[in-house]
Chain A
């Protein structure tokens, strides 16, 4: 079951940028790509916990600000031979409003 709740407006996230979203104890990074797609990942780099929301967004990836690991926004998989994966959450945009599936949050917590 999905449980969509609105979290912000699309325009509140800078294009090719990110916003940090606090969901209780959990920090989530919301990314907006150059083509206005939005993705949500846990805001913790699988390497040493760097805040992914502070990285540079390019294509459908973000590069961690601490040691430059590159992470796929769609899957949360680390790209290249580095191993690792960060939890990703389902996102939907409707009429300029960004919705997050909080059912998927429970599984991450």
Chain B
């Protein structure tokens, strides 16, 4: 089959990133040609600021060398802008008169600096700040002349001013507003910033409106509306950018402020895609790389004809790349009416932090002087995390929090340089930051290659990303709103689950193939997660893969530190008979079990059983009527109960009986993480129901259902979900809640962080308000239970998976031969 032709117009950061993502997915689908107006291969535009400041050389910022294009069979035309697109003929023409035809076209023309159309704006010595040529012009002026004016006190203007100052020029920043960076900062932060830049030698003219640029052969000065003038040899215009859409507009593509695209980055002509700063998506345009890289990924997914990626817009955050100044802002940092603000101000240390809060969620953040927690706040903002439980310490940073409820990535905080980040490889924070700055690392993989941090188990990936973000700024090559499952893929947990159901993936090899897994058979991080996702999606069809389970779930016992196992028979609701106890005692005697203990979940634990003994132990227990207690799995653990109204004088309902019914309904179910239930017979709550994943508290008039509790390292008390009137409803709501968690939480995410992430209101909506939806969830749960409630012990006692439990022996082999 003849390959389709893909043409990229615009050899810049977003366009080439899209090609890279595409090559990762489908290397051979297209014949690719690239047309770029600039004479260079793709370089890191962000790094123009350090180049101007003399901290980097142009050669160091090239991202894709000409060899890269050749190796990937991409034809590159540089220094030859495209001048027209003929959509009927599917052809483009360039300035040099070349023409080429396409099957698909990708526009990534970036944006142009906005040049204020005052008299004199076209004089020599007036430049924008956009590309290598601009930087070369500025550097040449700095060698020859003394004075510079930068018009615009935003991010770009200040970086330009800082760079020119570093080159020895006398720099004045002219700004229309009364504060700097008004689009990224609030007043107090802007005041601190201005003071410290002035200390560094920059001059400022605030509230000054430019009227004309003076000069005949070359600029000599600038005149303002109020009639004052200032002498200068160079004018840098940094008052904003405009999406570069002239070419698209002329070709009849729908453009507003940018080229309008849909969620798959297609323009109104479905053969033509557009990404980057030239694009307008859901009414937004972007001027930072992180969202553009997200667009690139989705666009590549669609170009590769996979089509399950969607771009839904991004929230961005900003850092200023001026050495010695720490500044961070994100979201809606100026409070609107009704918002609350949390502020920390320490003028002596030059520290200022402000969080804007609405409905207990962070809407915006501004930080100056101390930005260590910027990426943490940004994460809370993006994930719309409910902060009520830690809002009184939130300004002090996340080192004030434990991690149980929040996952590893929220710990980086204001750790000291000696703090260990990667436990696997023993890499501390200082080493990572140092490697990033001294070797100019830009991506997570580079940090892994250089420092090994997060290269092994990957559980510290979140922290390393946070370090990367706070060190490099938003330019680092990670997509902000999602996290990959593991190093084998770039897809997030949610994307993988979506692909499983939408593409109907029913086995692991099929999944690895369709989603282009980076390793032939995954790794210990992704395999158990994928096995669970497949099982949860296809309860009837998927055959569990024992080799993708952690040993506890494979051996159906908890591995102890000496390699022996513990055995916990299930006792529904904690009830048992004298015969049950005798049977357990008999097993303990027969197999010389070294220790017996009652567990926190009201069950009996037999410790120190050898692996080889397990099937025989299970056989005896199974004959006495016991099934596995799943005390070892990411599964339904126990339903803890109090004695309730049968015996207790305070009891309002039959809590023990209800506990038995709940456990009969739910046992055997596999979950994203372990799951515990409890039922208390009255609000005295003897069964500690309010620190369980789901707790029932009986009252006179019915049953309160509480969710999302956790009694681990960081205790979290449950949230009240609702109150119901009958036992039947308790069962239905519980089944529905569990199923919702099973279908939507990420693997290894307990209910506590899950509820915080998706919000209590969301869970209420799904399980309480949406009656039809609840019934459907409950039905799906019961369906999956038909396949899950097979006692693994009985099966193994009867001979299933014997190879797991019977060691081979050389002596036996020898005897046989």
A contacts, CB < 8 Å to B: 5-8, 12-17, 19-24, 27, 30, 34-35, 49-51, 54-59, 63, 65-66, 68, 70, 79-82, 100, 102
Contact = CB atoms under 8 A, between A and B. Distances in A.
Contacts of B447: none
B594 interface: no
Contacts of B118: none
Given A5-B817, A80-B456, A102-B810, A56 B559 contact: no
A81 B428 CA distance: 14
A56 B524 contact: yes
A56 B452 CA distance: 21
A80 B803 contact: no
Nearest to A65: B551
Interface residues of B, number: 34
Contact of A5 (B456, B522, B810): B810
Interface stretch (B94-102, B323-331, B542-550, B647-655): B542-550
Contacts of A80: 424-425, 452, 455-456
A70 B456 contact: yes
A70 B424 CA distance: 10
A81 B451 CA distance: 10
B524 A58 contact: yes
Interface in B511-545: 519-524, 527-528
A56 B548 contact: yes
A13 B527 CA distance: 19
B51 interface: no
Contacts of A68: 424, 456-457, 524
Contacts of A8: 808, 813
A55 B455 contact: no
A19 B563 CA distance: 15
Nearest to A12: B803
Given A54-B551, A81-B452, A5 B813 contact: yes
Contacts of B803: 12-14, 19
The 7 closest A-B pairs by CB, nearest first: A54-B551, A23-B810, A20-B807, A16-B547, A56-B524, A34-B521, A63-B524
Given A55-B524, A58-B523, 8 more contacts: A8-B808, A17-B546, A20-B807, A20-B808, A34-B520, A58-B522, A59-B521, A59-B523
Interface in B402-461: 424-426, 452, 455-457
17 contacts: A5-B817, A7-B810, A12-B808, A14-B546, A19-B808, A22-B807, A22-B808, A27-B807, A30-B808, A35-B520, A51-B563, A54-B551, A56-B528, A56-B547, A59-B523, A66-B561, A68-B456
Interface in B746-805: 803
B426 to A, nearest CB: 7
A22 B810 contact: yes
A7 B813 contact: yes
A66 B560 CA distance: 9
B143 interface: no
Contact of A19 (B523, B550, B807, B817): B807
A35 B561 CA distance: 32
A9 B803 CA distance: 12
Nearest to A35: B520
A33 to B, nearest CB: 8
Contacts of B456: 68, 70, 79-80
A8 B811 CA distance: 12
Nearest to B555: A54
B43 to A, nearest CB: 33
B599 interface: no
Given A56-B524, A59-B521, A6 B813 contact: yes
A7 B807 CA distance: 11
A86 B810 CA distance: 20
Nearest to A33: B521
A57 B547 contact: yes
B811 A22 contact: yes
Contacts of B426: 81
Contact of A21 (B547, B554, B807): B807
Contact of A56 (B425, B527, B555, B817): B527
B144 interface: no
A16 B547 CA distance: 6
Contacts of A63: 523-524
A7 B808 contact: yes
A81 B811 CA distance: 37
B451 to A, nearest CB: 10
A78 to B, nearest CB: 10
Nearest to A32: B547
A21 B424 contact: no
Contacts of B813: 5-8
Contacts of A15: 547
